[in-house]
């Protein structure tokens, strides 16, 4: 592995994102909206306005349907339904948003990884350099991984500050995040981001344009994302062990995808994929 | 240094190279000549291991491009027709990026080359704002970053002004003389190739139809010498049995009339190119 070349490619791609406001602005707005604004608004409403009596029955039924497990007694010990809902929403229901953020960001960047080079007419020059394909792919992978996971962690940090600030009136202490967010943010998010990046990089290497790569990538990754996103809150409720199992399974998926990618792609096929 | 033996390559159903064989010795400057789509660029891609042949074998400095492509690309510098720069990056940033990919440790090398090709003032401007000629000069600088032993130059003077053309051709000769850099040049500007190449390979429809030095080609395809002479009466063409007959003929002519100029019109590369293609068509 040529580490110097790998980092040069990753830095070049990340600089291209940084210098293009049309690329990074939507990438920041959506995470801020989903990961900071919405949870802060919801917590703020619960803390300052409370929930009306007419909604209570429906919310109680909804809460009863959740696989609360050990969480049940924790919620029961809370003084009001507003406390319970604020705690449940921020600590558990927010999880899908934080899975979506790296996936959306990574998909855009990785769809551009090779297709963008083809569209700009720079892929051939890259292929003429003495950089091995492994390093080239690793550079492209890093260029998608670092911004997407970095942005997710940054959004999570802002969310933590904001939600606790808005919820301080209710709890009078830091109530978000619970410990199960640690394996979620440090293991599950990176491994699922890598899986999405690998699929998108592979598609990007095979097709000729960014548009084709992005659409095909969304088509192939979206069903799995939706399935996963739907289950992640439940996994958080089930606790740390379930998250560690998910991360381990995703790591295996990543390794298999990486092996497949390296096996299926070579310089020649990458070059010939430029032909539209 | 470079040897291609019986190379065939197809893209889908379309054959691009057929039984293609050629040799380039160390320190030689070889011109690849042929019409668009004849297979010149494909042969350069094959030599560098960017694509793989369907049949035949290639060796470059003892390496096989299929297995040792990286070693070959480390020895080679290339200027492709579309130089392949990132238009949102400056000239210096582009060179620094490629310097890292080629493992160039000398941090001053990009600046040195920018100065050599007259681009110091434009080093901090985005490549998107460069003229065609500036991009071409930057492309040459990129190709030379790692001091390659072999240079592949695809249309190196396209888009350059006369001064730029002179600079590039002089640089090619200087580099070849100083470092014995082996070079393969593809160009349609035959007059420019004539000024720098030691030998020529003529390609048509993916096949090598002829190769040799200028003298060898001349002996084979231009046995007669067509001499164009300019006198007070205007221009006249004389057909002589060979170029060796030219001095005697001119001596005689100058005794009869005032001669202002004389040139052989069928011995330049362009005439040889068309003659060779014509012969190949008939064969």
CB of B48 less than 8 A from some CB of A: yes
As given in the structure block, the two tokens for residue A162 are 């904001």
pLDDT single digits (tens) A247-268: 999 999 999 999 988 888 888 8
Residue in chain A nearest B11 by alpha carbon: A272
As given in the structure block, the two tokens for residue A80 are 């009001």
Is the peptide bond preceding residue A200 cis, with omega within 30 degrees of 0? no
Which of the pair, A240 or B31, is modelled with greater confidence?
Answer: B31
- Owning domain of residue A217: 3-272
In angstroms, the CA B270 to CA B273 distance is 5
In angstroms, the CA B101 to CA A125 distance is 11
**Alpha carbon of B237: minimum distance to chain A alpha carbons (Å):** 48
Q: Coil, strand, or helix at residue B207?
A: strand
Residue in chain A nearest B100 by alpha carbon: A5
Mean pLDDT of B210-226: 83
Write down the CATH superfamily of domain B2-216: P-loop containing nucleotide triphosphate hydrolases (3.40.50.300)
Cβ-Cβ contacts under 8 Å, B89 against chain A: 12, 15
A122–B84 C-beta distance less than 8 A: yes
A124–B50 C-beta distance less than 8 A: yes
Quote the pLDDT of residue B268: 80
Q: Which residues pair with B185 in a beta bridge?
A: B31, B153
Confidence of residue B250 (pLDDT cuts 50, 70, 90): confident
Confidence of residue A58 (pLDDT cuts 50, 70, 90): low
**Residue among A125, A134, A276 with most chain B CBs within 10 A, to mutate:** A125
Residue A57 has pLDDT above 80, yes or no: no
**Which of B70, B88, B101 lies at the smallest CB-CB distance from A16?**
B88
CB of B61 less than 8 A from some CB of A: no
Cβ-Cβ contacts under 8 Å, B74 against chain A: 130
**Alpha carbon of B187: minimum distance to chain A alpha carbons (Å):** 19
In angstroms, the CA A71 to CA A88 distance is 9
**Residue among B75, B84, B110 with most chain A CBs within 10 A, to mutate:** B84
**Alpha carbon of B89: minimum distance to chain A alpha carbons (Å):** 8
Which of the pair, A223 or A169, is modelled with greater confidence?
Answer: A169
In angstroms, the CA B112 to CA B115 distance is 5
Quote the pLDDT of residue A66: 64
Cβ-Cβ contacts under 8 Å, B49 against chain A: 267
Mean pLDDT of B201-217: 88
Cβ-Cβ contacts under 8 Å, A125 against chain B: 78, 80, 83-85, 98
Contact A271, B45 (CB under 8 A): yes
Judged on CB neighbours under 10 Å (0-12, 13-18, 19+), A208 is middle
Confidence of residue A275 (pLDDT cuts 50, 70, 90): low
CB of B153 less than 8 A from some CB of A: no
Confidence of residue B183 (pLDDT cuts 50, 70, 90): very high
Residue B93 has pLDDT above 70, yes or no: yes
**Which of A19, A126, A267 lies at the smallest CB-CB distance from B88?**
A19
Quote the pLDDT of residue A56: 58
**Residue among B48, B99, B101 with most chain A CBs within 10 A, to mutate:** B101
Contacts of A199 (CB under 8 A, 6+ apart): A217, A220, A221, A257
Quote the pLDDT of residue A232: 67
Cβ-Cβ contacts under 8 Å, B73 against chain A: 128-130
**Alpha carbon of A260: minimum distance to chain B alpha carbons (Å):** 20
**Alpha carbon of A131: minimum distance to chain B alpha carbons (Å):** 6
DSSP 8-class letter at B276:
H
Q: Which of the residue ranges A39-43, B12-16, B24-28 would you say has the lowest mean pLDDT?
A: B12-16
Residue numbers of B between 71 and 130 with CB closer than 8 Å to A = 71, 73-74, 76, 78, 80, 82-89, 97-98, 100-103
B11–A129 C-beta distance less than 8 A: no
In angstroms, the CA A180 to CA A235 distance is 10
As given in the structure block, the two tokens for residue B137 are 């000069």
The dihedral through the CA atoms of B31, B34, B35, B36 has a sign that is negative
Cβ-Cβ contacts under 8 Å, B84 against chain A: 121-126
Cβ-Cβ contacts under 8 Å, B80 against chain A: 124-125, 128
**Which of B70, B80, B82 lies at the smallest CB-CB distance from A130?**
B70
DSSP 8-class letter at B126:
B
Residue A276 has pLDDT above 70, yes or no: no
Closest CA to A152 of A113, A109, A180, A193: A193
What is the separation of C-alpha A5 from the centre of its chain, rounded to a whole number of angstroms? 26
In angstroms, the CA A114 to CA A139 distance is 11
Residue A53 has pLDDT above 60, yes or no: no
**Which of B50, B85, B97 lies at the smallest CB-CB distance from A8?**
B97
Greatest mean pLDDT among A8-17, A96-105, A172-181 lies in A8-17
Confidence of residue A47 (pLDDT cuts 50, 70, 90): confident
Contact A137, A114 (CB under 8 A): no
pLDDT more than 90, % of chain B? 43
Q: What is the complex's ipTM, to 2 decimals?
A: 0.85
Contacts of A134 (CB under 8 A, 6+ apart): A1, A262
Greatest mean pLDDT among A2-11, B165-174, B264-273 lies in A2-11
SS3 content of chain B, % helix, strand, coil (to 5): 40, 30, 30
Neighbours of B121 (CB within 10 A): 9
Residue B269 has pLDDT above 90, yes or no: no
Query: What are the CA-CA distances from residue A15 to residues A19, A108, A147, A204 (Å)?
Result: 6, 15, 11, 19
The dihedral through the CA atoms of A146, A151, A153, A157 has a sign that is positive
Confidence of residue A158 (pLDDT cuts 50, 70, 90): very high
B32: Cα within 13 Å, side-chain hemisphere = 30
Quote the pLDDT of residue B240: 83
Residue B71 has pLDDT above 80, yes or no: yes
B83–A125 C-beta distance less than 8 A: yes
Helix (H) or strand (E) holding B252: helix B246-256
Write out the DSSP string of A93-145. ITHHHHHHHHHHHHHHHHHHHHHHHHHHT-HHHHHTSS--HHHHHHHHHHHHH
Which of the pair, B266 or A139, is modelled with greater confidence?
Answer: A139
Helix (H) or strand (E) holding A59: helix A53-64
Residue in chain B nearest A19 by alpha carbon: B88
Q: Where are the domains of chain B?
A: 2-216, 223-266
Residue A6 has pLDDT above 80, yes or no: yes
Query: What are the CA-CA distances from residue A231 to residues A149, A195, B198 (Å)?
Result: 20, 17, 70
Residue in chain B nearest A7 by alpha carbon: B100
Residue A51 has pLDDT above 70, yes or no: no
Q: Which residues pair with B59 in a beta bridge?
A: B3
The dihedral through the CA atoms of A147, A152, A155, A156 has a sign that is negative
The beta-strand segments (E) located in B46-181 are 55-60, 76-79, 150-154
**Which of B45, B76, B86 lies at the smallest CB-CB distance from A120?**
B86
Q: Coil, strand, or helix at residue B31?
A: strand
In angstroms, the CA B65 to CA B259 distance is 56
Please, what's the b/e burial string for A47-77 (b: 16 or more CB within 10 A of its CB; e: otherwise)? beeeeeeeeeeeeeeeeeebebeebeeebee
Closest CA to B86 of B97, B77, B76, B99: B97
**Alpha carbon of A213: minimum distance to chain B alpha carbons (Å):** 20
Quote the pLDDT of residue A32: 92
**Alpha carbon of B79: minimum distance to chain A alpha carbons (Å):** 9
As given in the structure block, the two tokens for residue B170 are 């002089």
Q: Which residues pair with A133 in a beta bridge?
A: none
């Amino acid at each position: 592995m040529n580490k110097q070349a790998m980092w040069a490619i990753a830095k070049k791609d990340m600089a291209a994102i940084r210098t293009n406001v049309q690329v990074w602005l939507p990438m920041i707005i959506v995470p801020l909206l989903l990961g900071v604004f919405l949870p802060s608004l919801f917590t703020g409403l619960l803390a300052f306005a409370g929930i009306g009596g007419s909604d209570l029955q429906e919310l109680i039924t909804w809460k009863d349907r959740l696989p609360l497990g050990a969480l049940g007694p924790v919620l029961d010990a809370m003084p009001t339904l507003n406390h319970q809902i604020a705690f449940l929403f921020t600590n558990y229901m927010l999880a899908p948003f934080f899975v979506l953020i790296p996936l959306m960001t990574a998909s855009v960047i990785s769809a551009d990884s090779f297709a963008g080079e083809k569209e700009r007419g720079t892929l051939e020059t890259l292929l003429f350099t003495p950089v091995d394909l492994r390093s080239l792919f690793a550079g492209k992978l890093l260029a998608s991984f670092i911004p997407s996971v970095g942005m997710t962690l940054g959004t999570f940090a802002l969310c933590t500050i904001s939600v606790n600030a808005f919820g301080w009136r209710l709890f009078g202490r830091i109530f978000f995040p619970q410990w199960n967010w640690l394996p979620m943010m440090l293991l599950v998010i990176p491994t699922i981001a890598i899986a999405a990046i690998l699929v998108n990089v592979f598609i990007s290497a095979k097709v000729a344009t960014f548009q084709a790569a992005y659409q095909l990538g969304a088509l192939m990754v979206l069903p799995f994302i939706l399935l996963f996103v739907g289950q992640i809150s439940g996994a958080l409720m089930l606790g740390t062990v379930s998250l560690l199992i998910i991360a381990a399974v995703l790591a295996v998926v990543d390794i298999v995808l990486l092996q497949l990618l390296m096996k299926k792609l070579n310089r020649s096929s990458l070059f010939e994929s430029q032909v539209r | 240094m470079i040897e291609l033996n019986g190379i065939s390559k197809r893209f889908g159903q379309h054959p691009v190279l057929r039984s293609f064989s050629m040799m380039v010795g160390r320190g030689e400057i070889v011109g690849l000549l042929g019409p668009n789509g004849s297979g010149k660029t494909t042969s350069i891609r094959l030599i560098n291991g960017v694509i793989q042949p369907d049949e035949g074998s290639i060796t470059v400095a003892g390496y096989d491009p299929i297995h040792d492509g990286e070693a070959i690309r480390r020895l080679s510098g290339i200027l492709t027709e579309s130089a392949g720069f990132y238009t949102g990056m400056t000239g210096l940033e582009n060179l620094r990026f490629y310097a890292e990919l080629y493992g160039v440790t000398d941090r001053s090398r990009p600046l040195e080359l920018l100065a050599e090709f007259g681009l110091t003032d434009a080093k901090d401007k985005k490549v998107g704002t460069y003229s065609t000629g500036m991009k071409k000069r930057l492309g040459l600088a990129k190709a030379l970053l790692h001091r390659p032993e072999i240079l592949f130059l695809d249309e190196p003077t396209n888009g350059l002004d006369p001064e730029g053309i002179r600079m590039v051709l002089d640089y090619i000769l200087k580099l070849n003389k100083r470092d014995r850099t082996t070079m393969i040049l593809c160009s349609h500007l035959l007059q420019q190739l004539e000024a720098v190449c030691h030998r020529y390979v003529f390609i048509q429809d993916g096949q090598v139809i002829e190769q040799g030095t200028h003298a060898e080609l001349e002996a084979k395809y231009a046995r007669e010498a067509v001499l164009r002479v300019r006198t007070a009466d205007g221009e006249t063409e004389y057909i002589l049995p060979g170029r060796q007959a030219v001095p005697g003929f001119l001596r005689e002519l100058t005794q009869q009339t005032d001669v202002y100029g004389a040139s052989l019109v069928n011995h330049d590369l362009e005439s040889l190119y068309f003659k060779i293609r014509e012969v190949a068509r008939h064969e």
